[in-house]
Each structure stands twice: as C-alpha cells, then as structure tokens.
Amino acid sequence: MVDVATFRQVAEACSRAVFWQLPRTPAQALAEAAEQAAAYDLEWDRYGSGGAVEQVETELVEVFGTEAAAFFPSGTMAQQSALRVWCDRVGTTRVALPDLSHLLLHESDGPRLLHDFRFEHLTTGPRTPTVDDLAAVPGQLAAVLVELPLRDAGCLLPEWDDLVALADAARERGAAFHLDGARVWEAQASYDRPLAEIAGVADTMYVSFYKGLGGLAGAALVGPEDVLAEARLWRHRMGGTLFHLTAEATTTLAGLRRPPDFAGQLAWARSLAALLPRHGITPHPAVPHVHTFRVHAAGEADEVNERALAVMRREDLALTGMWRAADEPGRVHTELTCSAASLDHDPARVAALLGEVVKGSV
C-alpha cells in the first residue's frame, strides 16, 4: 500500500512538476518574502492594522470595488465571522449552502459548535445552486452562501445569470448573499468579467491568498465597512488579531501585483481534459470550469498509485496527486490543478503519461 508520506516524498524529489509548483523550503520562501518586503518598502503591521496588512486591504478595495476589506489569518475564521455578523443582524442562525460546502466538510463542525449555525442544504451532491433550490428551503434565512467554484464537486461554477438571479432571490427573502471566493481569481478567468463585477453580486465575499495567488497564508473579507467592522470584532474574539502578519501580507501583495496567468492555465486545463478520455480517464466537468478539476478512471487505488510513483521516478516529474477509491466500486479519482508549471508541458504528453498511470501502458 502506498502511503501519503511516501507519495509526497517521491513527488517532492522530482525536479519538474506539471500540477501546482515544485515545493520551496522555508528558507527559500522566506528569503523571497524578505526581498519583496524590501522592494515594496513595507513596514510592520501590528495586531491586524497598519503596515503590509493595511496595504493589502487598500489594494483589495481597489481590485474589488468594495467599501472595505479586512485581512484574516484564515478563510475558516473569515467566513465564520461574516456569517456570524449576518446571523446576529437578521436574528436567526439559519444559513443555506451546498452540502458540499467547505464549512460542512472541512471545518470539524466548528461553525455549529462556535456559533450555533443551523445549516440548510441549498443543494445536495455535485451541482451548482439555482433560484429553484433556494425556493425549496423554507423559513427565514440569515444568509445564502455560494462557493466559487464548488471545489468538492469538481470545481463547478454556476452560470453567471444563475448566480445573479440567486443573489437577487436571497435578498428578496431578507437574507444576505455571501460568496466563498477562495478561488475567485480562477473563477474570474472563466466568467471573463471584472473582479469588481463578481464581488458586486455579493453582500460579502471571502478571498484566499495562499491558493492561486501563492501567498504564504491568509485571507480577507470584502464588503461594506459597517459589516466588516463587526467582522473584525469577531476576528479579535476568535484570536485572529495576531501581533504580526507581515510575511503573509507581503507575499499576498506580490500575488496581487503580479497575478498568475489564470486564463492561460484554464485554456491548458481544457486542452488536457479534451485529450483524457482517449486514455481511459473521464474529466469532471467534461470541460473544466476553472483550472482545477477532478478525473475518474477504472482501477484500484493501490495499483494506480504504485504506477504513478514508477512514472514519476522514471520521468523525474511530479505528475499527479494520490488517487483514491471513488464511490463507484472499481474506480478511482484524483484532482488536477493546473498552474504556471503546466504551461511548460505538452498536454498530449501529460495525457499519455496519466493514461499509463491508470492503465499500465501508453
């Protein structure tokens, strides 16, 4: 059986990568952050204000066209803070969101235990929500949350008109419309609309810095000043007002000022996805909505992962993450996230190598 530690060790030993980027040592990452801090002539932030943090917030306001922005050490804390504000204002803890939302799958029941949120399923399974889904949720709601894209469904994006209609329907119900925009820069490449237009659909939105932008860590809320003032109070109450967040803010500024070529990565991802079926691999969605998508194939996880290790060692190429058993017996799946490194490779060659991983031969 291939364990996670062995798989990661083999991948990190490779000198080239296809998906994501080759890992950097802490010394390399912090040295780069130091160079950026010097180039930007930054000062220390202090307990969540001033210095590099304030600069990030100022630039987010410019990018998203909102009244305010608030830096948070994590997206988990940012979203719980936003929802708590909306719940306190409306007078109910009921929030509608997809059953595959990050808050339900990856936060150890924290939203309920900390804030007593009552989550209603806006959708069930791998699909994006519509106005009809919201209409099927009875009673008063404090907020409606939509994840752009819905990562655990294969990174699906709702159609733009459906997103706008859902926001309007939420407000007609007296509920706030909140966007989980952890990958909003990636979604923007698909929507091909200004980031300010996307943010303008929502009452509040969370954005992440360590994913596509490549920051060390951190997140932010963007939205109205009065709402974010209350969210900052919850940030403090939950221990998020750290003495310094300068390293995280500095690397965020670098990503904001020189964002990756998300449109190019999306085009590459779609080229790869179109080639995969001929190698026994089914992409989901068939045409990726963003540069991250899931793939499925016939096989047993241990056997596929053993072949993946063999191919990576032979090619000196970090080719894929671990494959896991799918819900359907006899099938496996993994997630592919295209990146700047992907653009250095021929999609046809990558598709053939992935075919060798799942089938045992090119």
- 322-338 pLDDT, tens digit per residue, is 999 999 999 999 999 99
Burial class (CB within 10 angstroms; exposed 0-12, middle 13-18, buried 19+) of 102: buried
pLDDT tens per residue, range 133-177: 999 999 999 999 999 999 999 999 999 999 999 999 999 999 999
pLDDT of residue 23: 84
Over residues 346-359, the pLDDT tens digits come to 999 999 999 999 99
Distance between alpha carbon 122 and the CA centroid of its chain, in Å? 20
Cβ neighbours for 101, distance < 8 A, ≥ 6 positions apart:
119, 145, 147, 150, 180
Contacting residues for 329 by C-beta, under 8 A, at least 6 apart: none
Q: What DSSP assignment string belongs to 275-313?
A: HGGGGTEEEESSS-SSSEEEEEEES-HHHHHHHHHHHHH
Main-chain dihedrals φ then ψ at residue 168, nearest 5 degrees: -65, -40
Model pLDDT, residue 361: 60
Q: Contact 216/71 with Cβ under 8 angstroms?
A: no
pLDDT in tens, 81-92: 999 999 999 999
Question: Would you list the domain boundaries of the chain?
Answer: 4-24+261-359, 42-257
Q: Tell which CATH architecture fits domain 42-257.
A: 3-Layer(aba) Sandwich (3.40)
Range 4-24+261-359 classified under CATH 3.90.1150.10: yes
Confidence class for position 20, pLDDT limits 50, 70, 90? confident
Lay out the sheet containing 281-284: strands in order across: 281-284, 292-298, 331-337, 324-325
pLDDT tens for each residue of 286-326:
999 999 999 999 999 999 999 999 999 999 999 999 999 99
Q: What is the rounded CA–CA span in Å between residue 47 and residue 215?
A: 19
